[in-house]
Chain A
Amino acid sequence: MNALVPFAPVLALSIGSLGYLVSGQFLERARLTSLFALSLIAAAAYLIVGLMPMAPTLPHGFIINDFSKFFAVLACLGAFVSIIGTASSLAEEKIGMLSEYYFLMLTSLCGALVMIFASDFLTLFIGIEVASLALYCLCGARVTKESSSEAALKYFLLGCVSSAFMLFGIALWYGVTGGLAIAPINTAGPLVILSFVLMMVGLAFKIGLAPFHLWVPDVYQGAPTSVTTYMSCVVKVAAFAALFKIALNAFLLPTEWAVGILWFLSVLAMTVGNLAALQQRSVKRMLAYSSVAQAGYMLIGLVVLGDTTSVLASSVFYLTGYCAMTIGAFTVLSVLGPDADSVDDLKGLVKRSPFLATSMTLFFLALAGLPPSMAGLMGKVYLFTGALSSEFYGLAIIAVLNSALACAYYFRVPAAMLFQAPPTSEPVKVSVLSTFALTFCAATVIGIGIYPEPLVELCEAVAAVAAR
């Protein structure tokens, strides 16, 4: 039985989620469905926290350390808050069967946890696929809506291609090392570089880094808002965990060629993401392009990685804050209704619901990296000063210019909400659950800015384990 202990969280989620498939109508009642999913996720998070650190051993394929535990808890927390925030808007989205919806969501979270815990490439790949296959279905969950199926098709085709690239990278890794473990490589050569590049292509697709971001805006816009809320956080967390693990533990960054590739990806992602977001009228697409740019900032920690791990810790810190901001912003959109998308839908929101308008303003200011929500500001300052002190002047300058440019579109939404006349004066009803989720996100965004020490220390510890 002891052999099963490391798998306890994943087993709890996967076996528990089967309850949805066998229970039929019993779990179809809206309150009960979300409650069951939330309790399973809470149980998984509890089990993760209780796991003992464990070195990777062969039959397991799992590694349990502070790094994987932190990311796993973050993924569970993100899934938990996004389910609370969007549960009450599911009925309006006309998602077919609620029990299937939650089954797929828990399966996808299960895959994300496998990605985070994996200690060999095959387990990692299976985790990626389990997480993605469930998400492809979830994107098409609004069966009556054309854009939802279209988003599912685009996500599916591009996702499969990225998996194929990732897999070819894994095959090359196997060819070079003769094994599938994520272990330090002791040879160099063109095949190693090619393997790294192919794996980066695969992961950059999943994270949504330019130039592999083409699916991001379409899927974020076409998928049901509740699914977008979930994936904007959980997929990013899992994919970044996999990226950090592969880059640091297998390819032993920093090496000169790898830093060059990552520098290019980071700069391209922030520039392309911000320039494309500038032209959007759709808030979902704007947030999607902004997520591309934000992923570029988060990559800085890996680019400038020197002897110290403090900049990597800043990346982890920024990722944590970003999760709260993006879940919050998408939750506000889902409260406004299944088809609320354009900036016009948000006009004069402050008169219809001061709470929603205030929290949305807070999240957008945080994404722009401005006070009063200090999380975005602190994260950016940590990252950019880290880049400067490691003598990556070009990267730091481009990043600062980009975050100045980004303000132009981040201000557009709060301005529309606060200063323009609302199309109707009908107040927006916010359910208790959504209020709770939004308050939690807002408190996190403000809280980790005002009192960042505990999280900073945690991130430092996580980064130190990751880079070991």
Chain B
Amino acid sequence: MDPITSYLGIACLLFTIGGIGLCLRRNAIVLFMCVEMMLNAVNLAFVAFSKIHGNLDGQVAVFFVMVIAAAESAIGLAIILSVFRSVASIETTDAAELKW
């Protein structure tokens, strides 16, 4: 298999693993790690496509995505902390006051 295509395969695999983790786990921090994994899978895809096309747009996009992921983790951890303060747990099944 062409080496660049195999990078894309790995990106898809990582994205899928992240998605499966989101469906199966209930711990807010683990869920957040799954999302980060999906974002990094996309980064890998960007870099691989950048190599295929021979331009740098994709690699520049990766920097932006990394900065956004950092901002997301800052806010995400703050929100998880605030949930922990009110329900003393970070399991999403324990924070279940709102339901239909």
Contacts and interface: CB of A to CB of B under 8 A. Distances in A.
A167 B31 contact: no
Given A146-B87, A156-B76, A174 B35 contact: no
Nearest to B22: A161
B68 interface: yes
B65 A149 contact: no
B9 to A, nearest CB: 13
Interface stretch (A135-143, A378-386, A400-408, A459-467): A135-143
Given A146-B86, A149-B95, A180-B61, A171 B46 contact: yes
A156 B65 CA distance: 17
A122 B64 contact: yes
Interface stretch (A36-44, A215-223, A431-439): A215-223
Interface in A393-435: none
B58 A149 contact: no
B98 A151 contact: yes
Given A149-B79, A153-B83, A160 B72 contact: yes
A150 B49 contact: no
A160 B76 CA distance: 9
A136 B71 contact: no
A36 B78 CA distance: 27
Contacts of B53: 174-175, 178
B76 to A, nearest CB: 6
B17 interface: no
A126 interface: yes
Nearest to B47: A171
B95 A164 contact: no
Interface in A164-180: 164, 167-168, 170-172, 174-175, 178-180
A75 B46 CA distance: 32
A174 B65 CA distance: 14
Given A171-B45, A180-B57, A156 B38 contact: no
Nearest to A145: B86
B38 A161 contact: yes
Nearest to A180: B57
A8 interface: no
A443 interface: no
Interface in A98-151: 122, 125-126, 129, 133, 136-137, 140, 143, 145-147, 149-151
A307 to B, nearest CB: 34
Nearest to B35: A160
A221 B98 contact: yes
Given A171-B42, A175-B45, A140 B79 contact: yes
Nearest to A167: B42
Interface string B22-36: 100000100110010
Contacts of A160: 32, 35, 72, 76
Contacts of A136: 75-76, 79
B98 to A, nearest CB: 4
Interface residues of B, number: 46
Nearest to A175: B49
A157 interface: yes
B28 A164 contact: no
Nearest to B82: A149
Contacts of B28: 153, 157
Contacts of A164: 15, 18, 35, 38-39, 42
B42 A150 contact: no
A285 interface: yes
A150 B97 contact: yes
A171 B75 CA distance: 25
Contacts of A129: 68, 71-72
B48 to A, nearest CB: 8
A152 interface: yes
Residue picked from A161, A164, A170, most chain B C-beta under 10 Å: A164
A133 B82 contact: no
A152 B95 CA distance: 11
Contacts of B86: 145-146, 149-150
Nearest to A179: B57
Interface of A: 122, 125-126, 129, 133, 136-137, 140, 143, 145-147, 149-154, 156-157, 160-161, 163-164, 167-168, 170-172, 174-175, 178-180, 217-218, 221-222, 276, 279-280, 285
Given A157-B76, A164-B39, A178-B49, 4 more contacts: A149-B79, A149-B95, A150-B97, A153-B92
26 contacts: A125-B64, A129-B68, A136-B79, A146-B95, A149-B82, A149-B83, A149-B95, A150-B86, A150-B97, A150-B98, A152-B79, A152-B82, A153-B80, A153-B95, A154-B98, A156-B79, A160-B32, A160-B35, A164-B39, A164-B42, A167-B65, A168-B38, A171-B45, A221-B98, A276-B100, A279-B100
Interface of B: 8, 11, 15, 18, 22, 28, 31-32, 35, 38-39, 41-42, 45-46, 49-50, 52-53, 55, 57-58, 60-61, 64-65, 68, 71-72, 75-76, 78-80, 82-83, 85-87, 92, 95-100
The 7 A-B residue pairs with the shortest CB-CB distance in the complex, in nearest-first order = A164-B38, A178-B53, A175-B49, A171-B45, A218-B98, A146-B86, A160-B35
